[in-house]
Structure 1
Amino acid sequence: MLAQQRQSAILDLIRQHGGVRVSHLVSRFGVSDMTIRRDLEVLAERGLVDKVHGGATLAGPGSAEEPGFAAKSIRQQAEKRAIARRAASLVEPGMAVALSAGTTTAALARLLSEVRGLTVVTNSIPVADALYQDPRADQTVVLTGGIRTPSDALTGPVAESAIGSLNVDLLFLGVHGMSQRTGFTTPNLLEAGVNRCLVGSARRLVVLADHTKWETIGIATIAPLESADILITDAGLPSEGRTLIGEQVGELILVEPT
C-alpha cells in the first residue's frame, strides 16, 4: 500500500471511530511505529487530525461537535489519572455521590470500588461498568435510563426525572470546556439538561477538567464557574486561567501528572 493510500485509510478510521491508537494502526497496516507516526504527522499538517499522546483524533471540533468516548479516552491520560486520584480522596464511606459522563469521571469510578457503603448515581454507562466490574455488597449504583449520546451518557426526560428526585453529597462533573464568559459547557444539548439536574441534586459540586478544557466552548452552558465548590485540574493550566478560575470557584486544586 502506498503512503497516500494508507493515510487515506487511517483518516477513514479516525472519522469512523473519532480517534485511533498508534499501536492499533501498526497492527492493522503491518508497518512500523515510525511510519504510522509520519502518516499522522502528514494528516496533522493538513489540518485533518489532532495528534495526541499515543494516537490521533479528528481535528478542530466546533461547539456542537462531540467526540466519542473512545476518542476522548486517549487524550491527556496522565492528567486525567492524576485528577481522578485527587477527586477520590474527597469521597468518604457512606456518602452518596453522583458522577456525570466523561472519561475523567470514568477514571474516578475505577478508584471508588474500595469505598465502603457508597451510593453512586450516574448517567454514564462506562462509569457504571467500571463499578460493576468489582461489585461490593455494601455499594449501590444507580444508573439512569435515557437516550445514549456519543459520550455514552444517558440523557433526556427519563434521566432528568430520575436524577431530579435524588439528593447527593457530592457531584463529580466532567465538562467539555470552561471559560470565564460561558462557564462550564458541553457540545450536547440533551446532556446539558441532565448535567443541570445533577448540579441541582448535589450539596457540593466538584468539577474535573484537564487544562485543555480551558477556553474550549461547547454550545450549551451547564453552570457558571462560580457554581463550583471545587475545581480539580492539572498544572498545565495557563497562568491566566489559574487567576480567573481561582477568583471564581470556591477552591482550585492543581495536580501534577505522573
Structure 2
Amino acid sequence: MSDNQNLLAEQRRALILEEVRRRGGARVNELTRKLSVSDMTVRRDLDALARQGALEKVHGGAVPVAEASTHEPGFEAKSSLELSAKEDIARAAATMVQPGTAIALSGGTTTFALARHLLDVPNLTVVTNSVRVADVFHSAQRAGAGATGNRPGAATVVLTGGVRTPSDSLVGSVADAAIRALHFDALFLGVHGISVEAGLSTPNLAEAETNRHFVGSARRVIVVADHTKWGTVGLSSFASLEQVDALVTDSGMPLEARAEIRDHLPELVVAGETGEQDAEGLSDIRAEGLSGG
C-alpha cells in the first residue's frame, strides 16, 4: 500500500510542478480543487517539492524557481538543439537494431530522430511512451500502405497510455503498468542528464518513475545522448551508470569525459568518428546482437 501511495504522490507532485511552471505560480486552494485532495495534502506536497528545490513556497501557494534541475523544455524547443549531433547518434544507434526484435524507445528528440532511421528495419515490435515517436511509424505506415492497408514488414507499434509531459512523453500509472508487463530485447533511452554521480536523470518526477520501469524491463539499456547531456543533473535520478550497457553520443564529447565514461560503461560509441577504439565498441555490440533468447 505504501508503494502505491508513494507513486501517487510522485504523480501528484509532478502535476503541481507543471501547473506552477505553466502559470508562473499556484495557490493552495486552486490546487486542492484541481487535484481533488485536501488542503493538508497539497501543503505536504509543496513542502516536499520546496525541500527538493523544485519550487518556492510563498504565502498561500508556490512559485517556480529558475533552476536547471527542474526546467523541462518542450519538445519543439529541444528539437532545434544539436540537430547534427542527434542525426549522427540516430544513424549509429539504428545499426544496432536487428530485424524482428522487440525494442523500446523512450520519449525525447534523439529517440524521435532514431525512429526515422528504423522505418526500413523489418518486423520490429516497438514499444514507446512517446507520442512523437509513435507518429513517425504510424505516418510511414499510412503513406506506404498497400491495398490491404498494411505495409509488408512494417513495425508493430505499441503506444503506452498515460499523462502527457511537456516533452510529449506519456507517464504515470497507466504507462508504468503497460511497461512492467512487457520485456524488450533493447531499450533506447533519451535522457535529460547523465553523470557519474547522479546517473541518468530527468526534471520530471513522473517521467523518472516511468523510465525506471523501462530500464527494469529491458535486456539491454542503450542511452542515446549528445555531448551537452554529460554533466547535467535533473531533479530525479532513475538509473545508475551501472545499469547502462552502452552510450551512443556524438563527436563533441570531450576526450576526458570519454575516458570517464569508459571507466563506468561497457560500451561507448562516438557517432561520426572512425577511431579504432570506438569502431571496436560498435562491432562488439553488433556481434552480440539484440535478438531475444
Q: TM-score, normalised by structure 2?
A: 0.66
**Counterpart in the other structure of 2:165:** 149
**Counterpart in the other structure of 2:112:** 106
**Counterpart in the other structure of 1:243:** 259
Q: 1:140 to 1:174 in 2, by over 3 A?
A: same
Aligned residue among 51, 57, 79 for 2:85: 79
Residue type at the aligned position of 2:221: L
Q: Which has the larger radius of gyration?
A: 2
Q: CA deviation at 1:239?
A: 2.2
Quick check: 1:92 aligned with 2:108? Answer: no
Q: Any residues of structure 2 matched to 1:209-220 within 5 Å, and which?
A: 209-220=225-236
SS of residue in 2 equivalent to 1:110: helix
**Counterpart in the other structure of 1:175:** 191
Q: 1:194 to 1:244 in 2, by over 3 A?
A: same
Residue type at the aligned position of 2:194: M
**Counterpart in the other structure of 1:116:** 122
Q: Any residues of structure 2 matched to 1:1-258 within 5 Å, and which?
A: 62-135=68-141, 136-138=151-153, 139-256=155-272
Q: Which runs of 4+ in 1 moved over 3 A?
A: none
Q: Percent of pairs identical after alignment?
A: 55
Q: CA deviation at 1:61?
A: 5.2
Q: Output the aligned Cα RMSD.
A: 1.6
Residue type at the aligned position of 2:198: T
Residue type at the aligned position of 1:148: R
SS of residue in 1 equivalent to 2:81: coil
Q: TM-score, normalised by structure 1?
A: 0.75
Residue type at the aligned position of 1:199: V
SS of residue in 1 equivalent to 2:185: strand
Q: Deviations over 1:187-224 (max 9, x none)?
A: 11100111111111110000001000011110111211
Q: CA deviation at 1:62?
A: 1.6
Ranges in structure 1 where 5+ consecutive residues have no aligned partner: 1-14, 17-59
SS of residue in 2 equivalent to 1:168: coil
Aligned residues: 200
Distance 2:159 2:209 in 1: 16
